[in-house]
Amino acid sequence: MTVDLPSSIEFRYPITKDFSYLYQVYCSYILLYKNTEGKSNFMPLELLERSLKILVRKYYQPVAGWYQVRDDEIDVVYYNDKFNDPPVSVQILDIDLAELSRHIYESNTDLLVPKAPSGVIKPENPNIPMFLAKATYLESNDAMVLGVNYHHSLMDGSAFWMFMNNWASVCNQLCEQKDKTEFVLPYPPTFEFPDISHLRNPNHSFTHPEYALVDAEQCFKEFQPTGDKIVESMLVISVDQQQQLRQQAKEFGVSFTEMLCAILWKGANDLRLQIRPSIGPEPSLYTCATNSRARLGISSNFCGSPVINTSCQKTVAEIANLDLCEVAHLVHNAIDKCTGEYLCSSIDFLLQQRKKELTDERQGHEGKKAIMLVYVCPMPLKCTVSSSRNFPIYKTDFGFGAPEYVRPPFLPFEGCMRIWPTPQYVSGSSNAPLEVYVSQPDYIDLSQSPLLRNFSPTKLTVIQ
């Protein structure tokens, strides 16, 4: 008796109408795991590879798919019988834990993170991997490092750390039962972006200075127009300081995050003006990434990049002359304006830019056709804040213990500021210190800022 095998079935996941196509870049992280119990088979490669393959094939099929450009649309195409599995590489280093830790703190992505291709989605470049991993083991077996790169079009920070926790969960369940076929995920993903046309108001228009067009081929020259060397510093916000900030935020009528963002913006702004008084009339731009899931009624487990960037712009001199409460309210209003109408306006604006990008490409105008976010756009002074403090970063336990340290990527673009949890931090509380990674020109000394010096700024040595 002949049994007909099921035919290949094609599925499509459109990413053009939910902001995701905008983020045609890779993001990397470095996770350090210590072998504190001296296990002989610590974080085995075969287990990591098998659990990752199960995760993407069974629960994250688009991550095992391919990009396809059709006219003005970009889809992820995937199948029931063939897969673009995430590549996993491996290396063994004959160095000690102290030297490995130094490479991590220096953000040595060349050594510890898998090399990713260009993230720009083009018809001739459909085989872009959605996710890459690199396992680095020590000869001593004292620790291992998991370096990862993911394509931002399919995941924002929230979706990525849910993906990592789901991967770790599958790995844990395989440790308990090697032949397991069904798994319970802590964050079951969804891939459905809703119709939000009912939120659109044609009678109300917005400007969107938070987005800009830059030349993808010359992006690094545009990202650093002054030629300044960009270095990274780390601020540490203690438990007591967080409590003080929460009290001050309450008095000002803003949130803790808004209070912290105001301090970062005004602190950086005033330092730059002090060093170069001539930039007083120049624009000072604050931008932040806003998770739109709750505002649009999207599942918190939605796998995509529904990130809306919002902004506020004044001159450098104006920000310097405002008190901290006034700056905090500017930040609050920038975030508060992210209503459904504003989000629809953002989508419409981005889709218009997308059509321009495609028109330029068809007409052979390669320059200035790729959309990039304003935080990497030429600007005399910019402060772009993203917060990862409530992501389950330190819950990424593959069955061998939580990570000892997770290093966010060094972003060599002036004004990037990332609020980052420490290993002891619990989401929504102030029971452990917070870190803030700040990218600024090397002539900026954050310890000279009355607003920032109390957070013990330390310049990091970063491999560039």
Q: How far is CA 287 from CA 187, 333, 334, in A?
A: 29, 12, 8
Coil, strand, or helix at residue 393?
A: helix
For residues 186 and 450, give the distance between their C-alpha atoms in angstroms, rounded to a whole number: 43
Concatenating the DSSP letter of every residue in 218-267 gives GHHHHHSTT-PPEEEEEEEE-HHHHHHHHHHHHHHTS-HHHHHHHHHHHH
For residues 449 and 91, give the distance between their C-alpha atoms in angstroms, rounded to a whole number: 43
Higher pLDDT, 347 or 318: 318
Q: How far is CA 408 from CA 314, 361, 377, in A?
A: 29, 34, 21
Contact 233, 453 (CB under 8 A): no
Contact 422, 437 (CB under 8 A): no
Nearest one of 159, 175, 184 to 58, comparing CA atoms: 184
Contact 322, 266 (CB under 8 A): yes
Nearest one of 344, 380, 398 to 45, comparing CA atoms: 398
For residues 176 and 179, give the distance between their C-alpha atoms in angstroms, rounded to a whole number: 9
301-331 pLDDT, tens per residue?
988 878 778 888 999 999 999 999 999 999 9
The pLDDT score that the predictor gives to residue 114 is: 95
Q: How far is CA 352 from CA 72, 155, 271, 304, in A?
A: 10, 22, 37, 20
Tokens of 441: 């020109």
CA 122 to chain CA centroid, Å, is 22
- Sorted by sequence, the CB contacts under 8 Å of residue 117 that are 6+ apart come out as 125, 128, 129
The pLDDT score that the predictor gives to residue 199 is: 82
- Sorted by sequence, the CB contacts under 8 Å of residue 323 that are 6+ apart come out as none
Q: The tokens 């974080």 sit on which residue? A: 43
Contact 445, 438 (CB under 8 A): no
Question: What residues form DSSP beta bridges with 382?
Answer: 285
Taking the model in full, what pTM does it have? Answer: 0.90
- The answer to whether residue 175 scores a pLDDT higher than 90 is yes
For residues 69 and 77, give the distance between their C-alpha atoms in angstroms, rounded to a whole number: 10
Question: What residues form DSSP beta bridges with 67?
Answer: 76
Mean per-residue pLDDT, 78-82: 89
247-272 pLDDT, tens per residue?
999 999 999 999 999 999 999 999 99
354-405 pLDDT, tens per residue?
666 666 655 655 544 444 443 445 566 788 888 898 899 999 999 999 999 9
Mean per-residue pLDDT, 320-345: 91
The pLDDT score that the predictor gives to residue 375 is: 41
Nearest one of 297, 294, 347 to 158, comparing CA atoms: 294
- Sorted by sequence, the CB contacts under 8 Å of residue 210 that are 6+ apart come out as 287, 309, 310, 311, 373, 374
Contact 43, 398 (CB under 8 A): yes
Q: The tokens 């090399």 sit on which residue? A: 115
Tokens of 346: 């953002």
For residues 189 and 302, give the distance between their C-alpha atoms in angstroms, rounded to a whole number: 6
Q: The tokens 């402060």 sit on which residue? A: 383
Q: Phi and psi for 221 in degrees, rounded to 5?
A: -70, -35
Strands 416-421 and 434-441: antiparallel
Question: What residues form DSSP beta bridges with 312?
Answer: 286
182-239 pLDDT, tens per residue?
999 999 999 877 777 888 888 887 888 777 665 555 554 444 545 678 889 999 999 9
Higher pLDDT, 209 or 147: 147
Mean per-residue pLDDT, 414-426: 85
Ordered by where they begin, the domains of the chain are: 10-176 (3.30.559.10), 210-390+403-460 (3.30.559.10)
For residues 30 and 12, give the distance between their C-alpha atoms in angstroms, rounded to a whole number: 31
Contact 83, 30 (CB under 8 A): no
Contact 280, 300 (CB under 8 A): no
Coil, strand, or helix at residue 201?
A: coil
Higher pLDDT, 431 or 186: 186
The pLDDT score that the predictor gives to residue 256 is: 94
Strand order in the sheet with 307-315: 307-315, 283-291, 381-387, 416-421, 434-441, 230-237, 458-460
Tokens of 334: 């920038």
